[in-house]
């Protein structure tokens, strides 16, 4: 990413300053991530220097978070044909930034600093239109594609190698307590506008069609579509990696009742 930023600065003099502030002036990815979060999410209540130092200390203390961020960047580059390099999602993709800010908020939440975690959640929601509760759990190599309108509830979990598009809700269905949000397993692909509600499990390698409303468990390696969602086919592999949204050939078509 440093090489990419150097090339951009050499090619476009106007971008030399931004490349220096975002990437080239930092000694490591942890510092660059912390600075990026601070530059986008600081406000009058939590200024940029304080937020930068807070995030930097968390990243340096927990190198696994930095490794996850690097894996997320590689996942975006691999799965998004509009992404030409690593620098682009780092600088410009709010799905990536939202997820890294959430990782910081998640640490704060479990450290007993709930109001600071909620403040960061609120800033991400206000600035980036992504609302992830600080207690929600995320694996690595996750891509939040576009991400606008994404909502993830408190007890939701998202496994490794998952891809989620814009307008998705991982929400509850009422006022019940305890585990009340979806558990999304490895390699799941969730299409734009899908609403997945309640204490349900989306099995490994499942595919949820755009605009679907899912209210029951989805079996592994199964495609569901519709309102309410119904199974329309089975497949092999992890659709989150291929970003293949089509219904498998030979699947039963969905018709109105």
Q: Does 138 map to a domain? A: no
Tell me, what CATH number does 90's domain have?
1.10.3130.10
Q: Does 137 map to a domain? A: no
In this structure, the answer to whether residues 10 and 105 fall within a common structural domain is yes
Range of the domain at 77: 1-129
Q: Does 134 map to a domain? A: no
Bridge partners for 77 per DSSP: none
How many Å is the maximal CA-CA distance in the chain?
61
Q: Does 14 map to a domain? A: yes
Query: How far is CA 4 from its chain centroid?
Result: 23
- Which domain-ending residue is among 98, 129, 160? 129
203, 218 in Cβ contact below 8 A? yes
Tell me, what CATH number does 222's domain have?
2.160.10.10
Instruction: Give pLDDT, residue 175.
Output: 82
In this structure, the answer to whether residues 121 and 171 fall within a common structural domain is no
Nearest to 244 by CA among 226, 221, 228, 227: 221
- Sort residue 167 into left (φ over 0), alpha (ψ -120 to 50) or beta: left
Q: Does 171 map to a domain? A: yes
Instruction: Give pLDDT, residue 253.
Output: 44
Give the pair of three-digit tokens for residue 14. 């106007």
In this structure, the answer to whether residues 21 and 90 fall within a common structural domain is yes
Nearest to 111 by CA among 127, 143, 137, 135: 135
Instruction: Give pLDDT, residue 250.
Output: 46
Q: Does 122 map to a domain? A: yes
Query: Torsion over CA of 188, 165, 80 and 55, rounded to 10 degrees?
Result: -90
Q: Does 135 map to a domain? A: no
Instruction: Give pLDDT, residue 152.
Output: 98
Residues of the chain with pLDDT under 70: 248-257
Q: What's the whole-model pTM score?
A: 0.93
Q: Does 48 map to a domain? A: yes
Domains of the chain: total: 2
Instruction: Give pLDDT, residue 176.
Output: 81
In this structure, the answer to whether residues 160 and 101 fall within a common structural domain is no
Instruction: Give pLDDT, residue 248.
Output: 60
């Amino acid at each position: 990413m440093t090489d990419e930023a150097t090339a951009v600065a050499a090619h476009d003099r106007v971008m030399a300053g931004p490349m220096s502030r975002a990437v080239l002036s930092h000694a490591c990815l942890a510092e660059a991530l912390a600075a990026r979060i601070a530059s986008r999410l600081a406000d009058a209540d939590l200024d940029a220097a304080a937020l930068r130092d807070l995030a930097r200390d968390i990243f340096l203390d927990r190198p696994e978070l930095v490794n996850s961020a690097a894996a997320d960047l590689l996942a975006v580059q691999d799965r998004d044909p509009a992404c030409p390099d690593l620098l682009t999602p780092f600088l410009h993709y709010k799905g990536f930034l939202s997820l890294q800010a959430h990782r910081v908020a998640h640490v704060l939440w479990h450290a007993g600093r709930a109001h600071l975690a909620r403040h960061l959640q609120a800033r991400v929601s206000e600035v980036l239109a992504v609302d992830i509760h600080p207690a929600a759990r995320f694996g690595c190599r996750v891509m939040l594609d576009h991400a606008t309108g994404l909502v993830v509830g408190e007890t939701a979990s998202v496994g490794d190698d998952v891809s989620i598009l814009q307008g998705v809700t991982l929400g509850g269905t009422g006022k019940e307590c305890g585990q009340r949000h979806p558990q999304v397993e490895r390699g799941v692909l969730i299409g734009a506008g899908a609403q997945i509600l309640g204490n349900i499990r989306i099995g490994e390698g499942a595919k949820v069609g755009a605009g679907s409303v899912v209210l029951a468990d989805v079996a592994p390696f199964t495609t569901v579509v519709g309102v309410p969602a119904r199974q329309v086919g089975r497949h092999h592999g992890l659709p989150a990696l291929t970003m293949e949204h089509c219904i498998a050939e030979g699947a039963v078509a969905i018709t109105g009742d």
